[in-house]
Each structure stands twice: as C-alpha cells, then as structure tokens.
C-alpha cells in the first residue's frame, strides 16, 4: 500500500512573522523550515511502515508551493519518505485554503494513496483545515487531530483529541488523517539520509499535469479575498503596583478593579 504525506514549507518558528506592507500578505522571505507538525505525520507514516501490520510499499511526500518548497521535500525524504512530488505553478499562487485543498487532492488522485497523512495545522496559516478539504475532494473519511494510530482489522484505530477527552474512531481505508504533535517523537535525520535526499526521485508537476482546473485555484479562483492584514496591536504597558505595604496594595488592586466594574 501507499501512504502520501502532505508537507508544507513554512517560515521558521524563530522568525518573527510580519505582514509585508507591499502585498498585504505574510512576509515569507526569511528562513524557512518544514512545518513541524508535518514531521510528526512523516514519523507516523514511518511507524506504520516499520510496524509491519500493514504492508507499506511506499511513502510519498507531496507539497504545493513555490520553487523553494523543494527543501521541505528534501527534509521529508531525509526523514524517511521514498520519493516526493512538487506541485508548483504560477497559476496556483495566492490560493486560499479551499483552493489549496482542491489542488492537493488533484495531485493525490493520480497517486491513489491508501492513507493520506498530514499535520493538523501549519505553523504559518494555522487554518487546521486542509485535511478536511482534501478528504472531501477524495471522497474519503477525514479524521483530524489524531494523537494515536493503530492498525486494527485492516483499518486504522485512531484516537483524536476532542474538546473534552478523546474520541476513539475506527476508520477504513483509504482515509485522510491529520495528526497532532503528541502522536510521536519524530526521529532526527541521519547524515546519510540528509546526503541521500537529493538522490531520491522528485517529480515536479504543473497544475495541468495534475489535472487542476485553473479557474478554481490561484488568487482569482479563491473565494477568500483578502482585504487588509494588520499585525495585532502591541499590548499596552500594564500598571505595576509595588508591594510595600500589603494592605495598601490590596486596596489599590480592589480600587482598580472596582473602577472598571470588574467586581
């Protein structure tokens, strides 16, 4: 069987996110990295492969993004994926989450995976949505925020983080599963895997190659139209009360709360 893992290149966590005033979109020019959640998705795929309960023949990493996104694929391959697919096309730039999900689903259709794994959220967009959109297009069940994955009766028994406690869900394959970071501890890549990453097959696909209807993707094909993005306002400096005499301090705090009708 085949597992496809969706991976995304995101601005490095250490880089402070900012809006590019000239485009009104996130400035993605700085240091980038493989979305940390996606490393958990790859690890989950590796554990399914190594676990042996399913006969996993191949793990394929898939990304949609500009030229630089191949680095996310190299990382994915150095963590264990066997090959990768880079969906890239000027027509795809500016796609919103629905368009991105549609485009990824088209790329996946060609691969016919038995399991699609992905991170539950990206570090930059944080929509938590791609999994559900992809599943809808593939007409496959969607499970999100999965933190435990076991092979049971030829399907997958998943524990997902719910609002209160956990849901345990048995899903038959094919299925689209987004994972949380509690699911595993990703391995670090070995030196050989890093050096060998570029030797593993990498396929570049255009929108047309993937059979994508160009009118449904890109800025024009997206239903979300961005007005203006603004950085959240800086927090005002608070009031610091020096605690010299505790009774007086308590009085000051009570008066402050009272003024604002909070007590």
Partner 1 sequence: MTTPSPATIDAEQLEEIRDGIRQLCARYDGTYWQQLEPETYPAEFVDALTEAGWLAALIPEQYGGSGLPLSAASVILEEIARSGGNPGACHAQMYVMGTLLRHGSEAQKERWLPEIAAGRLRLQAFGVTEPDAGSDTTRIRTTARRDGDGWVVDGQKIWTSRAEHSDLMVLLARTTPIGEVSKRGEGLSVFLVDMRDRGDELEIRPIKTMMNHSTTEVFINGLRLPGDALIGEAGKGFRHILDGMNAERCLIAAECIGDGRWFVERASRYAGEREVFGRPIGANQGIQFPIARAHMAIEAADLMRWKAIGLYEAGRPCGAEANMAKYLAAEASWMAANACVDTHGGLGFAAEYDVERKFRETRLYQVAPISNNMILAFVGQNVLKMPRSY
Query: Binding residues for partner 1, per CB under 8 A?
Result: 74, 78, 188-192, 194-195, 197-198
Task: Give CA–CA dist 22/246, Å, rounded.
Answer: 52
Picking from 42, 81, 99, 74, the residue whose alpha carbon sits closest to that of residue 224 is 99
| Least distance between ligand FAD and beta carbon 84 (Å) | 11
By beta-carbon distance, which residue lies closest to ligand FAD? Answer: 125
96 binds, among partner 1, ligand FAD, none (CB under 5 to 8 A by kind): ligand FAD
* Angle of helix 36-51 versus helix 70-78 axis, rounded to 10: 40
| Least distance between ligand FAD and beta carbon 24 (Å) | 10
Q: State both tokens at 159.
A: 């524990």
Q: Which is nearer to ligand FAD, 6 or 46 (CB)?
A: 6
Task: Give CA–CA dist 90/65, Å, rounded.
Answer: 9
Residues with Cβ < 8 Å from 49, sequence gap 6 or more? 3, 56, 59, 80
189 binds, among partner 1, ligand FAD, none (CB under 5 to 8 A by kind): partner 1
Q: Which is nearer to partner 1, 123 or 159 (CB)?
A: 123
197 binds, among partner 1, ligand FAD, none (CB under 5 to 8 A by kind): partner 1
Contact between 93 and ligand FAD per CB under 6 A: yes
| Least distance between partner 1 and beta carbon 192 (Å) | 5
Contact between 13 and ligand FAD per CB under 6 A: no
Contact between 8 and ligand FAD per CB under 6 A: yes
Residues 102-131 that bind ligand FAD (CB under 6 A): 104, 118-119, 121-122, 125-130
- Please state whether beta strands 83-87 and 115-119 pair in parallel, antiparallel, or not at all (unpaired): unpaired
Q: Which is nearer to ligand FAD, 132 or 169 (CB)?
A: 132
Residues with Cβ < 8 Å from 7, sequence gap 6 or more? 34, 35, 38, 41, 42, 61, 62, 63, 72, 73, 75, 76, 118, 119
| Residues forming a β-bridge with 115 | 3, 175
- The binding site for ligand FAD (CB under 6 A) comprises 6-8, 25, 35, 37-38, 63-65, 93-97, 100, 104, 118-119, 121-122, 125-130, 222, 224, 226
């Amino acid at each position: 069987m085949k597992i496809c893992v969706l991976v995304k290149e995101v601005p490095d966590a250490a880089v402070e996110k900012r809006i590019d005033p000239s485009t009104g979109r996130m400035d993605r020019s700085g240091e980038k990295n493989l979305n940390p959640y996606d490393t958990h998705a790859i690890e989950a795929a590796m554990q399914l492969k190594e676990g042996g309960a399913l006969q996993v023949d191949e793990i394929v990493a898939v990304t949609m993004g500009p030229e630089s996104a191949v680095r996310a694929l190299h990382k994915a391959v150095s963590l264990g994926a066997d090959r990768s697919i880079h969906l890239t096309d000027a027509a795809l730039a500016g796609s919103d989450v629905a368009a991105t999900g549609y485009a990824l689903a088209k790329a996946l259709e060609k691969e016919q995976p038995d399991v699609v794994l992905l991170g539950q959220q990206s570090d930059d967009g944080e929509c938590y949505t791609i999994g559900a959109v992809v599943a809808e297009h593939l007409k496959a069940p969607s499970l999100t925020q999965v933190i435990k994955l076991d092979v049971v009766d030829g399907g997958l028994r998943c524990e997902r983080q719910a609002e209160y406690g956990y849901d345990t869900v048995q899903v038959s394959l094919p299925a689209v599963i987004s994972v949380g970071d509690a699911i595993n501890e990703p391995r670090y890549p070995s030196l050989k895997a890093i050096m060998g990453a570029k030797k593993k097959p990498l396929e570049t696909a255009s929108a047309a190659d993937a059979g994508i209807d160009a009118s449904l993707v890109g800025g024009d094909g997206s239903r979300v139209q961005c007005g203006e993005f603004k950085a959240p306002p800086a927090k005002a400096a608070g009031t610091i009360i020096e605690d010299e005499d505790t009774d007086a301090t308590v009085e000051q705090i009570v008066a402050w709360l009272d003024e604002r009708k909070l007590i």
